[in-house]
Structure 1
């Protein structure tokens, strides 16, 4: 960590998954931390309380911003008219987004950024697992809980930082994508599929952000890219800079046998995995090259991968009996399709897909048509729209047209959702539950009884 002087730092929207971990990390480094938020859920709440930085009351207040504060840190979830943000601007207190501050703290580190519309969390977590297994000192920033790691962020004096680079906007006062702020030395680009329709209202605008990212690579930098992605191939072909080392990847060599996935290492030995799905074999292939660039030999990568498990809510198996029940953080059309395909290849039985339309993009009537044929391998699909999304009056007939699928049932009530899943005709079907939301906190454990 580069900053030695201890500071009084106020964090607006401190309850977020990364923001609360950043707050804890900064306090442990000796800084005085205060914060605010209008709602804080567990585990953020209990962790902030344990570290004595939980706000005494919820909400945003003008008097939280005083002249003793050296720095205000904010994230994208803070509104532009936030009273604390406005007060900090009036007082001339320096304001940084968390990506900008991470960049500042990693000034002298080798910065590795993992980007792409999907797979970035998994790739980042694979690299983290392999580096830890091989006792390599490193820092990290990731958007999900990873087994074997206490928090979503670590900033220390380690010479390397591995960052999950998100293309979403940086903050309410900075509309650049977060991943441009980190100024990578090594970039992994895993795939581009139009997302975040609410801020990038055209495919062209969305792809342009990744083009900027590639062109942000410094002289002597490296780009590792998925060679089978059409958009990435176009960007790389146009970019081709002799001062940048370009390395492509595809998939690990794998096969599925009796509900198990194995990959073949450099010595033609079979390695049994705890993960599955072609998209995860792509994630492994990219992560392996990054690890190699960080000094990990392939044989040590493969040894570490034996014990790797996916992050929370990534193809998480919540029931393993005669039928299998999985939960996944899928929301984009290609991720939906890839996850369904992964489960069907590993477990060929009939599959009931339960999918929540949650994100702004997925609920947009124009964007919805991008989901065409994404449910083609599902035996039957229940689509859920939250009771709180009353502004989105989507009809079952329209959804069937968008997905190009007849076997769809639309549900808009969480009690009806559980009752529908429990219907006798779905009893013997494997189940795949997917959302970037939480289904109005439905207790899916009821399905395992």
Structure 2
């Protein structure tokens, strides 16, 4: 097929473009700007546009399909030209469904944990040499790309994002996949710029549950009361499989998984990750992996990129970075690190970076999120608030929202870096939580701070 990507530089879009190129399709694309690592990866496969911008001349009648990314606007000149020519236009999730409609689709949904669960499943399957198609939201160790598409594989594993599909398709992505097997890990209000109320947000997961094919299976976290209540009232003729946090204990900073053959050390830690592990185990079972095979493989799983990723360590201190930014993720990650390293001082730093986290009315959702930390810092950029055209946030608003008396708040990147870099790192854990970089923080410098 001849395929053209509008906004090819996105994290998901460029991976799909590479996957289709490797599959043998003819791929072109456009974007107004492309950042690393997308830029280098597209260049490696000779898919990087020769110049940035939107060019109507790229849209011709012999294109089989146009794939439209969220970064593009509804009045994008290439999109308008494609519409005028009557070309087939797909959103990212629509195209993935088209590629997988003859396969068994396994969709992992939830406000949190979906990348980790999908990563665990793929790790176990790769360990046992079971080849599947997939789309996951993070770069995984041992995987060249985040998307794989073939003609021959029986299964397609999809990370089911609840965000919008495209500028001209306002449906959540996971509504389009029609799973044979689905999982819901948890529901905690997010994306308030799209889903203005909690009830409206929960409704998207109900629609997801109803989209499972008749006779399909839904694996769900029964420890989340919102998920449990929602699943129990679903009238869809499907099989339902509840799961709970896997039993474990911690000894000398190592998490031991309780198995039928006794305690087994694993690389990951934290109650939320052990909950994710239980969900992944159920999905693997539906895909033909038995209990012994699962435990053998999961023992070597080190986690998805940017999820509690160890970035520095010496004999007395350690540093992690994590993608956590929503209230539920921040709370779970902070608690996990403190539980794992009870005898160390935990310095937890959170950057409020996303649209939701910088919205004054949403800030109250962060109450208690950093309570497990011995020392806690929140960083945000007033400039980012302006760029996102949001109401101004005062430092006092942050303190009131988190309800943590000794909370430190920084808005200047230099002052934040000075504070963090000069902290007394003796018997300490540094936890950096953000989907950004704290106004330009170089994470490679952190190792020397711990000395």
**TM-score normalised by structure 2 residue count:** 0.95
Contact preservation (8 Å) 1:112, 1:185? yes
Contact preservation (8 Å) 1:396, 1:408? no
- Per the alignment, residue 398 of structure 2 pairs with 399
Task: Measure how far apart 1:124 and its partner are.
Answer: 0.2
Distance of 2:346 and 2:147 partners within structure 1: 36
- Once the two structures are superposed, the pairs formed by residues 172-321 of structure 1 within 5 Å of their partners are 172-241=167-236, 243-267=237-261, 269-321=262-314
Can you list the C-alpha shifts for 1:26-50, whole angstroms capped at 9, x where unaligned?
1222222110111112221122112
1:49 counterpart SS class: helix
- Once the two structures are superposed, the pairs formed by residues 165-176 of structure 1 within 5 Å of their partners are 165-176=160-171
Contact preservation (8 Å) 1:387, 1:413? no
Task: Measure how far apart 1:266 and its partner are.
Answer: 2.2
Can you list the C-alpha shifts for 1:90-120, whole angstroms capped at 9, x where unaligned?
2211110111111111121110000000000
Task: Measure how far apart 1:426 and its partner are.
Answer: 6.2
- Per the alignment, residue 63 of structure 1 pairs with 57
- Per the alignment, residue 25 of structure 2 pairs with 31
- Per the alignment, residue 374 of structure 1 pairs with 369
| Gap regions ≥5 residues in structure 2 | none
- Per the alignment, residue 435 of structure 1 pairs with 434
Contact preservation (8 Å) 2:317, 2:425? no
- Per the alignment, residue 4 of structure 1 pairs with none
1:187 counterpart SS class: strand
- Once the two structures are superposed, the pairs formed by residues 66-77 of structure 1 within 5 Å of their partners are 66-77=60-71
1:239 counterpart SS class: coil
Contact preservation (8 Å) 2:379, 2:409? yes
Distance of 1:426 and 1:354 partners within structure 2: 14
Contact preservation (8 Å) 1:140, 1:154? yes
2:242 counterpart SS class: strand
- Per the alignment, residue 352 of structure 1 pairs with 347
Task: Measure how far apart 1:61 and its partner are.
Answer: 1.9
1:389 counterpart SS class: helix
Distance of 2:24 and 2:59 partners within structure 1: 20
Can you list the C-alpha shifts for 1:117-155, whole angstroms capped at 9, x where unaligned?
000000000000001111112110001001111110000
Contact preservation (8 Å) 1:352, 1:426? no
1:153 aligns with 2:152: no
Distance of 1:262 and 1:154 partners within structure 2: 33
Contact preservation (8 Å) 2:19, 2:145? no
Distance of 1:176 and 1:199 partners within structure 2: 10
Q: How many residue pairs end up in the alignment? A: 441
- Once structures 1 and 2 are overlaid, which stretch shifts more, 29-38 or 271-280? 29-38
Q: 1:164 to 1:345 in 2, by over 3 A?
A: same
Contact preservation (8 Å) 1:396, 1:409? no
Task: Measure how far apart 1:388 and its partner are.
Answer: 3.8
- Per the alignment, residue 163 of structure 1 pairs with 158
Contact preservation (8 Å) 1:356, 1:383? yes
Can you list the C-alpha shifts for 1:188-224, whole angstroms capped at 9, x where unaligned?
1100000001100110110000000111112110000
CA RMSD of aligned residues (A): 1.4
1:12 aligns with 2:6: yes
Distance of 2:24 and 2:282 partners within structure 1: 36
Task: Measure how far apart 1:387 and its partner are.
Answer: 6.1
Can you list the C-alpha shifts for 1:29-76, whole angstroms capped at 9, x where unaligned?
222211011111222112211211110001112222122222110122
- Per the alignment, residue 119 of structure 1 pairs with 113
Q: 1:86 to 1:438 in 2, by over 3 A?
A: farther
1:41 aligns with 2:42: no
- Per the alignment, residue 3 of structure 1 pairs with none
Distance of 1:83 and 1:146 partners within structure 2: 35
Contact preservation (8 Å) 2:221, 2:279? yes
Contact preservation (8 Å) 1:11, 1:36? yes
Distance of 2:92 and 2:425 partners within structure 1: 45
